[in-house]
Structure 1
Amino acid sequence: MNVLLQVQINIVSSILAVIILGHAYFNMNRKKIRNKIFLWILALTLLTLILETFSILLDGPEMRPYITLHKLVNILGFSIAPVIPFLGYMFSKEWVSRYQKEKIKSNYLLFTLPLVINLIGALLSYKGNGLFHITGTNTYERGTLFFILPTITYIYFSYNLYFIYKLRRKFSSSELVIFSTFYIVPAISIYIQLEYASYLTIWNSLTIILVFAYMFILNEQAYRDSLTGLENRLSYEHYAQNINKKRLQKLFIVYLDIDEFKMINDQFGHLEGDEAIKIFADLLVESFRVKHKRLIRLGGDEFLILLNAQKQEQVEACIQLLIQQVETYNTRAMKPYRLKFSFGLAGYTKAVDCIHQILETADQAMYAQKQSRKGY
């Protein structure tokens, strides 16, 4: 009965992991590398929970007939454990690079070397005293090389946190919290389980974090434009419905539209049209580097920028920078067409009742600019 009480939280966590893994498998785009990695993290965490449960159930003299199975379960569990933080780094890297032209490069040979060392230590445990030792009475003990596993794990955790801090400008504030928690909480849990072996904290805490991470990923997919990585119309509608009206006194809206976009699609194909949209979105990110902004693709070739707590001069400077960036791109890209855009700028006034009125004013200004350019 004491053994069942010890593993009951593992059983509950395993059931939760099965549910999340099943839901994620059928609801995530499995063609995307980052989603594949996340599914592997979920699956390996579930497998490790199961292996840890069996390791406890198989421990003790009364289970001596199953001593070989006991050893194999622990070898597999010890071998898998550091793979999960390694995959965590790969997931973070793919997440940051998901909308970038150039992927972040890594020395995977160097990164996988600790996994090989850990695997050797686990295999040595079958007949000797490696990462663990199963006594003649079928009792589990930590081996003389046990220190290898937590050391490697903490190395991965530390590097992952360094990676996130180094590229913190590429993460949103909510992303920083989620990704940091993914490594900090398990690191604390490992320390607790190292000190108190009967407390099975590591994989249970990681399962809970993965649940929250999955919720975050689903939310990101719902409010993010898959082509450009910018926020989408749903995100704008959510923002408009929940914005505190008192903050509208410091709000500017820039409405942008790619000129002659239909011509690009008709003459050069929709793939080239998608490329033009992605390029323009990248130029928006490069040009509007101020804080407190939201870059949104409303749909098609229409874009929206919301800027809080900015002076109009700053907003106009960003627009001028965008104009320069587009011209520079046209000169360097040597495309058979020129990337052009029209824009409208509007800010809060006391006569405005809601954010949609500011948007309408910006839309009218953009349309007037576009009309004035026709025939130019």
Structure 2
Amino acid sequence: MNATLELDVLSVVLLIFAIALASRSLQSKPNNRWYILSAVTLLIVIGTELFAYQVDDIGVSSQIAPHRITNVLGFGLSPIVCYFLFRYISHTKYQQRSKWLFLPFSINGLLSILSYFNGWYFYVDAMNVYRRGPIFALATLNMLFYYGLCIVFLVKTLRAYEASDRPLLLFILATPIIGAAIQIVFPPVLTLWPGIALSLLLFYLFSQEQYYSFDVLTGLRNRSTFMRDLSDLQRICKGPATIVVCDVNELKKANDTYGHASGDALLVHAGGLLERCFRGVGKAYRIGGDEFAVISTKEEPLEVERSLSLLESQIKLYNKTGPVPLSLAIGWSWCESCGGNLFNTYVAADNNMYDTKEKMKQGRR
């Protein structure tokens, strides 16, 4: 068995393992279907590559048609692997543009079929010898277009990940590129698809690990991450810190009046405002059903006060046009040194938030 075949067989094993993992949580995570589709499509593509080894005997005319059909499938499905992967990692953010994303791989599929007859992408001659066609590079560019979208989307969201996670994510993204580079340097060793297969598995494992660190609804860091960061900061940081705690007022009333979907939308918007208003100042978390928090390690609380002022103005702006009014009860506390004091600072901020909430209730009576 040559090196390429060994890599393909290893890739098949990795993909089957990845599909099995993703299928186990499909009911609770419906978005996994895009990942499974990507992995299954890649399995088919690698299958066409393995089958091509069986029908490439020079001079055997009976293998010409199967050889061409195999290449039609391989070229036609290649970009769809990365398209499905993009749908998996981008969730619903590109739903409105999804119809335009069909266009490149649809054209690629048509060109793949036509290549059976005219040899644009590939040519299998009368002696059953495979050669690249004049626009072979277009098929590769089509696939790279979708993989490029994956990279652009993930790079845009890079700051949402912890600093320790970013190198691993970048390595996962680079794996197919490394595979392509090896294939260019050593053409007989086909490492592009094994690289993508490995990247798919690693990315799924990485995303599942992130799933337990981030809140599914708002995309903010969750309570377990908040408590971990508090503990880490109290242990390693000797400088000042500020804790902000926010609670969405009358969320139950919003759910009862406008429906739970509107209540969820209110939480998402509240989380989004916190993330934007405290960008560069602190990390935002969703630590409960209607409760949020921010950790800031800025030297002076003045920057936190500016962010809170910006948050207040953004809430007023939102309530001028928003379908469901948003109101936040906010409390915060500052400590001069994180060491041994940060959890007490959190408790103080939480108590201040409840005091504010009670005053707001009395003001509405």
Provide TM-score, normalisation by structure 1.
0.82
1:100 corresponds in structure 2 to: none
| Percent identity (aligned) | 23
Q: Does 1:296 align with 2:285?
A: yes
For structure 2, list consecutive stretches of 5 or more residues without a partner in the other structure: none
Q: What residue number does 2:51 align with? A: 54
Correspondence 1:286-365 to 2 at 5 A: 286-291=276-281, 293-333=282-322, 335=324, 338-350=325-337, 353=340, 355-365=342-352
Match of 1:8 among 6, 18, 26: 6
Q: Displacement of 1:314 after TM fit?
A: 0.4
Task: Give, in whole Å, the separation in 2 of the partners of 1:371 and 1:151.
Answer: 60
State the 1:92 CA deviation.
4.9
The residue aligned with 1:41 is: 38
Work out whether residues 38 and 84 of structure 2, in 8 Å CA contact, stay in contact via their aligned partners in 1. yes
Deviation at 1:177, TM superposition (A): 5.8
Partner of 2:266: 276
SS in 1 for 2:116: coil
SS in structure 2 at match of 1:82: helix
Question: What's 2:142 paired with?
Answer: 152
1:207 aligned partner: 197
Q: What value does the CA root-mean-square deviation take over the aligned residues?
A: 3.3
Give the whole-Å Cα distance in 2 for the aligned partners of 1:324 and 1:238.
31
1:298 deviates by 1.3
For residues 78 and 279 of structure 1, the distance between their equivalents in structure 2, rounded to whole angstroms, comes to 43
Work out the CA distance in 2 between the residues paired with 1:154 and 1:108.
19
Classify the secondary structure of the residue corresponding to 2:212.
Answer: helix
Q: Is the 8 A contact 1:251 1:308 kept in 2?
A: yes
Q: 1:179 Cα deviation (Å)?
A: 6.7
Relative distance call for 1:368 and 1:352 in structure 2 (3 A) is: farther
The 1:127/1:342 distance shift into structure 2, 3 A limit, reads: closer
Distance 1:71 1:194, change over 3 A: farther
Say yes or no: does 1:73 pair with 2:34. Answer: no
Deviation for aligned residue 1:137: 4.1
Cα deviation code 1:227-272 (max 9, x no counterpart): 2222211222332344462315232110112233344445555444
Alpha-carbon shift at residue 139 of structure 1 (Å)? 3.6
Q: SS where residue 133 of structure 1 aligns?
A: strand
Cα 1:246–1:289, aligned 2, differ >3 Å: closer, same or farther? Answer: same
Letter in 2 for 1:71: R
* Bigger mean CA deviation after superposition, 263-272 or 6-15: 263-272
CA contact (8 A) 2:246 2:328 kept: yes
1:64-213 mapped onto 2 (5 Å cutoff): 65-94=62-91, 97=93, 105-106=96-97, 108-109=99-100, 111-158=101-148, 161=151, 167=156, 172=161, 184-213=174-203
**Counterpart of 1:138 in structure 2: which amino acid?**
N
Tell me how many residue pairs correspond in the alignment.
362
Corresponding residue SS for 2:219:
coil
Structure 1 residue runs without a partner (length 5+) = 98-102
Offset of residue 113 of structure 1: 4.3
* Residue 169 of structure 1: how far off its partner (Å): 7.4
- Residue 86 to residue 279, structure 1, CA distance change in 2 (3 Å): closer
Deviates more, 1:127-136 or 1:7-16: 127-136
Check conservation: 2:213, 2:221, Cα contact below 8 A. Answer: yes
Compare 232-241 and 18-27 and name the one that shifted more.
232-241
